[in-house]
Structure 1
Amino acid sequence: SLSILSEVFLAICSNNCTHLLLEKPVLLFCCQSLSYYLVKTRCKSGNLGLDEALGHFDSVIQMKPIPSIWAINHLFGALSKMNQCSTVVSMYKQMLACVGLHPEVHTLSVVINCLCRMNRVDLGFSVLATILKHGLQPNAYTLNALLHGVCKYRSLSEAMELLQKIEEKGLACCEITYATIINGLCRAGKTCMALEILEQMYEDGRFKPDPQCYNPIIDRLCKERRTDEALTLFRDMINKNVAPDIVSYTSLIYGLCNMGLWTRALALFEMMNKKGRKPDVVTFNSIISAACKSGKWEEAVRLFRNMIDCGAFPNIVTFNSVLDALCKEGKTAEALNLMEEILCHSAQWKEATRLFNRMLDEGIAPDVVTFNTVIHALCKERRAEEALSVLELMSQRGMRLNIFTYNSLIYGMCLTDQWAEATRLFDEMVVQGVLPDIITLTILLDALFQGGMPEEAHKVVEARVKYGMELSKITCSMLIDGYCIRGKMDKAKKVIDLMVIKDHVPDIASCYKALVNGYMQAKRISEALRLVEEMIEKGVMPDLETLKALRDLRPKRHVVSAE
């Protein structure tokens, strides 16, 4: 280490033996020590890059004589944490070709861990054979890595067999060994066997179970909706002086929330805080989501504020849960206040808040669901201008608007009699490749006819047909009825002709009936009759109601038989 190197250097200088620094053995010792210290420091820094690590490795294996294996160990450990498993295995192969560089148990254990994480458990066992062949003793880390690999990529029976061999041969193991097996059993749904392993640990007495042994079982019981059993195990854990950690609490809180046991979940959440266990984003999301589903929006907002104060920064799931709950309760003002803490505002909105800036720093941004929730709530309350401000913000964020966004906005514009803006949005959505659906057409056509704008309604239908979009029964009937009510029979007839030409009529009988009724109401009986004859020619039979109405309005000799 550097301290040893410093002591050697000071001893040489204090004894007036500086000439020794030029001696090759001393010089080599100094170089090797400096190299080892540099590698160790960089590996522990947390910002070691892959290229830098490769450079250090090349330098170490080229040194003559070969330095201590510990420089290699530090590099392997750092690269393993960086998830560069294939790089570690490649370096290991190069290392084997270096004369005089002998790996020890720690080196080989890291290699085994990397191989198992690469789903090469078979090669992991080969390296274990190398350890035993050289008379080395595998440690708990070695065996745990293999056990984890077998549990994850092979069968559970193989993992149990391996554990049995480890116990029979008296090989090194620890709490993590049993926690690995328990986790594997729980993932396979074998909760009873996991409980047996836990009990076996207490009976054996060598290892005291820690939270990592309890947590997989508690989590599995909660997912199986066996919350009472999970709570019993949780209490047993405390009674045996095993302090629950954040995972223990979070699993139970999730289980209680999933069962709709909001009050008990909140009590456990408060207990967690009192015990000094700091909730994380997963814990908060579970409890906040449960509060929202229970209609406790005030409690949800309180927990949301608490979450920020605790430094557990909310993610998009949190935002959507709270905003959706507020908007469903009609608390648009509260939702907007919350949005001011989340969203960066446009020129009409306030300046970006501290929370939004931090949100961006964390790489979390509101998604289209968040925006749609707020836009829909604003439009329902006729706050169209603010809804358009949110729309502008979505555009600034580069978000692609979907059918829900446009439908909400068109509805909002129609509610506030902004017909031009509603049709502009319709044109925009078509250009953007967002195809209008039945809801879009129903909202827009109904509003345009009520606003006395049948021509605009006709343009909307023409645009839909032009872009090859099919028309629904409701759309056709609404458009024809709108013209007929205003006595614009020629326009109504053109609509049917347009639909027939484009083959976009889902229910031509209903459309013809609406037009016939329009002619009759306008006392244009002869045209109504011609239309009925046209229907029959096209193989569309008028219903009895239409024929009887015609019979009552025209001379007997012209009556079409309804019999």
Structure 2
Amino acid sequence: MRFHGADLNEGAYHVLLNALIEEGCFDAVNMVLGQIRMRGHESQVTHALVMKNLCKQNRLKEAEEYLRRLVNDGEEVSGHVLGVLVDAICKKDMNMFLHAGELIQEFGEAGVFSMQQAYGVWIKNLAQEGKVDGAMEFFRTKKIQEGYIPELFRYNFLLNRLLKQNRLQEVCDLLMDMKESGIVPDKVTMNAALCFFCKAGMMDVVLELYKMKSDIGLTPNSLIYNYIINTLCGDGSTDEAYGVLKNSITHGYFPGKKTFSVLADALCREGKLDKVKDLILFALDRKVMPAVSMYEKFIRALCRAERVEDGYLIHGELSRMNRHASEMTYSHLIKGFNKVSRGDIAARLLIEMQEKGHKPPRKLFKAVICCLCEMDNPEKHFVQLLEMQLSRYGPSKTIINFFMEGAGHGKRPDLAREVYEMMGRIGVAPNLDSDLVMLQCYLRNDRIADAINFFDDISKRRALGRKVYSVMVVGLCKAGKPDFAWTIMRQERKDGLLPSLQCYEELVKAYCSEKRYDDAIKVINDMEKVGRKITSFIGNVFLLHSLQSKDLYAAWARLRNVSDETPTSAMLGQLIAAFSGQIRVDSQVEDLEEVIQRCFPLDLYTYNMMLKKLSIDQIDGARQLFYRLCERGYEPNRWTYDILVHGLFKHGRIAEARLWIEEMLRQGHFPTERTKMII
């Protein structure tokens, strides 16, 4: 260019000079620098490039002298020159950090040029070397003394360093400082800060920043929305989470399926079902398909809230999208419709459930059929369900037995009998289970004559086993017909069969309920003759009735001379006497336990009976027994607490009783009406 008579202008010379410095062409740098000075182009830019050149060559002493010379000569100098020098000194040697700080202080006090850039460089280097406290202190001091406000990237740098050290309160303070100074943090830094606040559980700060997002230029991304919503749900702040989600949708963000499900699940748990419905509509409007599991949780929540019709509508939407509900969801819907006496819809769902590959349990079948039996025109609904079941899935003895059992529980043994007789017509021979179910249907509905006739009919078709006898005896006892039961059981003995323990237990219970204690004792005698031991159930029944009346002891006293007492029955007699108040119990709790243990195995009910006995006249012993049963591994139930509380009130130990009531309530139990009357 020079040969052609052209020359560079001032800007071009400085661009060339900077390029040569960057490439390390230091000889050429000096030549170009001479040309700049010769042509009178020297300026603040030149000074800065000279400083850069000296620092790049690690000629820091010369660089410092150059700066001082410029200042002394009254040259116009940019603060950038000092910033370049300070940066170079800090990077060269940690030992020179102190000197860099001295230069900052010296020139800052001199006030010969703007220190904005130099202060920023010093703060950056302090923070980079792990001196974050020093950087923050320097920043605060200069702000107060000189009104110093760092550039945005310096703020962001400080924020990131504070976040790395988890100094979240200082991050919050710095963000507020930026807001006051009218400086908006960049998106990346702000989102990172929100993430840290969420993880630390500082949701009050997060929400405050979120509310100020327009003031501070915050534009959260989808990750931040997810973080905020998840954290708020974890804190139980579902309303705030719901508001954030609606706002995120307005701004074009839709949370991930997991976050959506977390919020919907939390709202379901709190019963805020209308908001869940709104969420689903938001999703569908934007053609977003929430997870099937979320739909199902919503349906179950609606059923629990007795909004089963709404749940059914959601179920219909799910089916239209070719998404299949789980077995649990079907169960909730069916139980919900049973509860509102809509057995017809429950029956429809029962069939649909099987079409989707699920196998309804016996209990569900029974519940639906019971509901149908309670509707208007039950025969019609019952037959319709039975016909649909048989036409779709064919005859099954198990399912047919379910129908019979359901009809029995629904107080329609006549329908059960029709199904039983139908079995032969469709080529399905009734099995033993069918006979037992039919027998139970009659007994459960007090159709005693029909039960006896059917029992005789069974005996003509098959050899009677213990199962049939047990069903008959137990059923008669529960129907309040212990004499019939005793006759059947004696027939069982004649047939060479040993009656089940349940037969003996129910007979004893039935006779005691009618206060026919002589007959109950005869059952005990028969039980011992066949080698059966006294069970906890029978022992507890005798203890209960001994506490309620002296009649059981009187019957025992009448019969013991004419019966062959065994050591066990003799021990039982002593217990009856003790619990009836015929003999005083002065022994220790451990001794009473041992006596009962020799007679029959103890359970929690036994301990409650012991507690009731001791609470009458040995309240301290009752309290000791409470602790002992806990040590034995038993978990006190409502009756355990209530017996002790009642006894304490009866003995006038009011303050102590109230403490036990507090403990009772903490365990989720409530006093009985009997105890409430004396509180």
Report the TM-score, using the length of structure 1 for normalisation. Answer: 0.45
Report the TM-score, using the length of structure 2 for normalisation. Answer: 0.38
Q: Return the index of the structure with the highest Cα Rg.
A: 2
Q: Which has the higher contact order (CA 8 A, sep 6+)?
A: 1
